[in-house]
Structure 1
Amino acid sequence: MDALDGRLIRLLAEEPRIGVLECSRRLQVARGTVQARLDRLQAKGVISGFGPEVDPAAIGYPVTAFATLEISQGQGADVRAHLARVPEVLELHTITGIGDMLVRIVARSNADLQRVIDRVVGFDGIVRSSTAIVLENPVPYRILPLVDQAAAE
């Protein structure tokens, strides 16, 4: 990754609906250069999508929580399949330390969160869970500082 890749990613992140031609104009490089860079960044998995970012709170799910799950030995694949069927599960990570999986979930209210937790843990492969409700998100998911650093190296 170089400085031009970093500038291209930043431009696309700031203006996701911008076209290749406008990118080339703003970056002052040929359209073919922009297209080739985009193709390479996608092929390498650096750029994984161009879809809209949706705020769960804006569509009626203002409560976010993280659940740490302990699972029975050998049940990982079944638990992952179970969690993939729960719409309120936004992310699932396998982890080290206390617990085996970390799940980000959303709910319509604190009362609804209990329903979601019951659905998440209502599976024989899950032995124990611990849930933490998010109060504030002062540093939301971000990638551009990391892109800037990688492009500068």
Structure 2
Amino acid sequence: MAVDELDTRILRLLLEQPRTSAREYARILGVARGTLQARLDRLEREGVITGSGVSLSPAALGHPVLAFVHIEVTQGHLDDVGEALAAVPEIIEAFSITGGGDLLTRVVARDNAHLEDVIQKVISLPGVVRTRTEVALRERVPRRLLPLVESIGRAAAGERPSTPGPRPAPGPRPASGPRPASGG
């Protein structure tokens, strides 16, 4: 889906000020409320906006330990294991993946002993072959989407990205005779 500069401004406001009313968003953006609502409806219909809820902190809810648990599954049992994982409340996300395992989960726990209990529960599920756990020590980049939205907005406006990236290869050199050999 292509987003334009107004879409980018709308998305930025939704991320920065999620509790503001549509009327206030329209005022801030300098657009009619109907225009704003039409844009919001399109962004929802096309799957750009997927919800409008609050963000909760597992740590503040008494589950400060975060771990990533890779799960290897018996062939043909991926769906069954995925359904069983949904019944474990400490598993807050699960993804099918490529690479060293079949599923990757984000697990929260009260402490390390609780984390071990959750992992033992996962290991005992029918179809689970083995697990590998990595405990997060500190969050370095919190979940964020605003930098991505801004990058997409710049691209839509035809601006150059502000993040460093590979430089374009130099164009062809003008023909001016043989080039000297370079020494190594």
Of 122, 136, 140, the match for 2:138: 136
Distance (Å, rounded) in 2 between the aligned partners of 1:150 and 1:121: 41
Secondary structure of the 2:68 match is strand
Residue in 1 aligned with 2:61?
59
Secondary structure of the 2:138 match is coil
Of 49, 52, 56, the match for 1:50: 52
Residue in 1 aligned with 2:39?
37
Counterpart AA for 2:17: E
Distance (Å, rounded) in 2 between the aligned partners of 1:85 and 1:124: 13
Of 2, 23, 37, the match for 2:25: 23
1:111: Cα distance to partner? 1.0
Cα-to-partner distance string for 1:31-78 (whole Å, 9 max, x where unaligned): 111100100000001000110000100111100000111100000110
Runs (5+) with no aligned partner, structure 1: none
Q: Greater share of helix residues, 1 or 2? A: 1
Choose between structure 1 and 2 for higher RCO, CA contacts under 8 A separated by at least 6 residues: 1
Asked if 1:124 corresponds to 2:133, the answer is no
Residue in 1 aligned with 2:84?
82
Counterpart AA for 1:114: E
Cα-to-partner distance string for 1:52-106 (whole Å, 9 max, x where unaligned): 0001001111000001111000001100000011111111111111111101000
Distance (Å, rounded) in 2 between the aligned partners of 1:27 and 1:122: 53
> What's the % identity of the aligned pairs?
50
Counterpart AA for 2:35: T
Give RMSD over aligned pairs: 0.7
Q: TM-score normalized by structure 2?
A: 0.82
Distance (Å, rounded) in 1 between the aligned partners of 2:120 and 2:85: 12
Counterpart AA for 2:148: L
Of 3, 12, 15, the match for 1:13: 15
Count residues in correspondence: 153
Distance (Å, rounded) in 2 between the aligned partners of 1:49 and 1:121: 32
Distance (Å, rounded) in 2 between the aligned partners of 1:81 and 1:137: 28
Secondary structure of the 2:104 match is strand
Distance (Å, rounded) in 1 between the aligned partners of 2:110 and 2:118: 10
Of 54, 64, 74, the match for 1:72: 74
1:137: Cα distance to partner? 0.6
Distance (Å, rounded) in 2 between the aligned partners of 1:42 and 1:99: 33
Residue in 1 aligned with 2:116?
114
Q: TM-score normalized by structure 1?
A: 0.98
Runs (5+) with no aligned partner, structure 2: 156-184
Residue in 1 aligned with 2:107?
105
